[in-house]
Structure 1
Amino acid sequence: MRDAPRQTVAWRALRAVLADRVAATGRESLDIVDAGGGTGGFAVPLAKLGHAVTVVDPTLDSLAALERRAAETGVGVKGLQGDAADLGEILKPDSADLVLCHSVLEYVEDPAGALRAVRGILRAGGVVSVLAANPFATAIHRSLAGHFDEARQVLADPSGRWGDRDPTPRRFSRDALSGLLAEAGFTVGEVHGVRIFADLVPGMLAENDQEALIALEQAAATHPVLRDIATQLHAIAYR
């Protein structure tokens, strides 16, 4: 439950997408691909809802953990080894209703190429859900930790990095993320802010009233100012 304030906004958007695609296709079970889905934090709950889920991830250890997690939950999830950029070689064209690309574009060698590969496996009208790190939130977090020079570096760096020791290769503003999706041939829909307050509020306060914090996160998710300082941006885009 402690992660609920950090995940509720993304899950709320995903449930709306699922409902829309079920209505549009007339199929209760959708074909979903989780690119870089790791140990199944999203994939297993989606499979539990009755959807056919395939996880593509480069790490065998993560896929083994996914298999154990799915077995413990009593659902079937298919795991395949590979990178997001290789989706077109691993899966058939026009085979997915929804592709999750969560915390992937920050790390792949070619974000634009990865999104083109995602588009290639989506059916007409299919949806991609992208979660990506936001540089403006990083600047705020580094400043709150007293690293003012690093916060300033985030704002100046084209990739939104705070220095050579930054473990995240790149971050995306809302405009940059929307532009990347558009260039890959997607029509960008809603962009939500995820973890706007949840990463700023002290843990004890967050746990004291999670319901109120979740409500605050949901209220701020599309706020024209607050959205842009979220830790992550969640974009929904359509083929």
Structure 2
Amino acid sequence: MHPNDMSKSNLISSYELTQAGDRYFDGLADKFSRSLYQAPRGELRLAMLDYLLPTMLQLNGQKVLDVGGGLGQQAAWFAERGHAVTMSEPSEEMLNYAKHWHRDVKSLPEEAVTYVQAPLQSLADQAPGPWALITCHAVLEWLGDPRAAVATLSTLLASGGQLSLMVFNRDALRFSNAVKGNLEKALSDRLAGKGKRQRLTPISPVTHADIEQWSAENGLRIETVAGIRVFQDYLRQPPTTPVERETLLALEKQYCRQDPHWRLGRYLLYTLSKPEITE
């Protein structure tokens, strides 16, 4: 079955939150693909990750746990660079999409990625590690308790390990609403989505202060941070030519780690580390 046909055969009648208050994406794989990865904002996000990850992580072919891997883009990125990847994803539809995409489009060998259908909360049992490298990109904002998720990720991380964490930035969401004229919404801080129907506004957008607090609570150290889509979401006129798109990408690269610009990235990308235990 072609990946784009999966959502048609696996549609569900409602898009309610789970008992834990999390948002899964069964029935939305095709919409995710169109909205997030076949659009300029998705292309820029992937281009920035391609640029930033080699500079923010120490990559030496170590095994990777990709938490909430979605459609499989990040798992493929690491697998293509020689890492053995375990990709976890709670949505059966999203996981099946990733499997077919890895095989049919990316031509990855079957053993390159191991797939685990599981929510983040159960990974201590289903993929305990400890892991030298964990990626968790655009997951926390879809959970009912993102603070508890950071604690779980910390338990999965090996001593001396790295956690690549990307989160949807609440401060950027507020600024974007103000730019669009949604002044009352921005003032009252009614920013989170409800997790209903097919809307893709995150239910738990987080702030840099949140990540600072939750990291400290779990003995994790923030090594570096960058903003992704610092400028794109605020443009009055989006780029229309290849030259304009290249100029925007160059602008994003130049300022993504400079203060104060990174703080308004639509996503914040962190490298967190777990200090090595010394005897």
Structure 2 matches for 1:55-204, cutoff 5 A? 55-72=87-104, 73-75=106-108, 76-94=112-130, 96-154=131-189, 161=192, 167-201=201-235, 202-204=237-239
Count of paired positions: 227
Deviations 1:109-156 (A, max 9, x none): 3223222222222222111111111122112221232211112122xx
Q: Would the alpha carbon gap of residues 233 and 206 (structure 1) be closer, same or farther in structure 2, given more than 3 Å must change?
A: farther
Do residues 32 (structure 1) and 43 (structure 2) align? no
Partner of 2:254: 219
**Matched-pair contact (CA < 8 Å) for 1:32–1:98:** yes
SS for the counterpart of 1:234 is: strand
Q: CA deviation at 1:206?
A: 6.8
| Amino acid paired to 1:210 | R
Deviations 1:150-170 (A, max 9, x none): 12122xx6xx53889884222
Q: For residues 96 and 195 of structure 2, what CA distance do their matches in structure 1 show?
A: 32
TM-score by length of 1: 0.85
Partner of 2:55: 16
Q: CA deviation at 1:193?
A: 0.8
Deviations 1:53-103 (A, max 9, x none): 111111000110011011021213211111112211111331x22111111
Identity %: 22
Q: For residues 166 and 90 of structure 2, what CA distance do their matches in structure 1 show?
A: 18
SS for the counterpart of 1:169 is: coil
**What RMSD, in angstroms, separates the aligned Cα atoms of the two structures?**
2.3
Q: For residues 205 and 39 of structure 1, what CA distance do their matches in structure 2 show?
A: 27
Partner of 2:8: none
SS for the counterpart of 1:193 is: strand
Q: For residues 49 and 221 of structure 1, what CA distance do their matches in structure 2 show?
A: 24
**Matched-pair contact (CA < 8 Å) for 1:143–1:151:** yes
Deviations 1:3-22 (A, max 9, x none): 4433333333321345x241
Structure 1 unaligned spans of 5+? 23-28
**Matched-pair contact (CA < 8 Å) for 1:174–1:191:** no
Q: For residues 101 and 193 of structure 2, what CA distance do their matches in structure 1 show?
A: 35
Q: Would the alpha carbon gap of residues 110 and 164 (structure 1) be closer, same or farther in structure 2, given more than 3 Å must change?
A: closer
**Matched-pair contact (CA < 8 Å) for 2:179–2:234:** no
SS for the counterpart of 1:38 is: coil
TM-score by length of 2: 0.74
Q: Would the alpha carbon gap of residues 6 and 17 (structure 1) be closer, same or farther in structure 2, given more than 3 Å must change?
A: closer
Q: For residues 195 and 150 of structure 2, what CA distance do their matches in structure 1 show?
A: 26
Q: CA deviation at 1:191?
A: 1.1
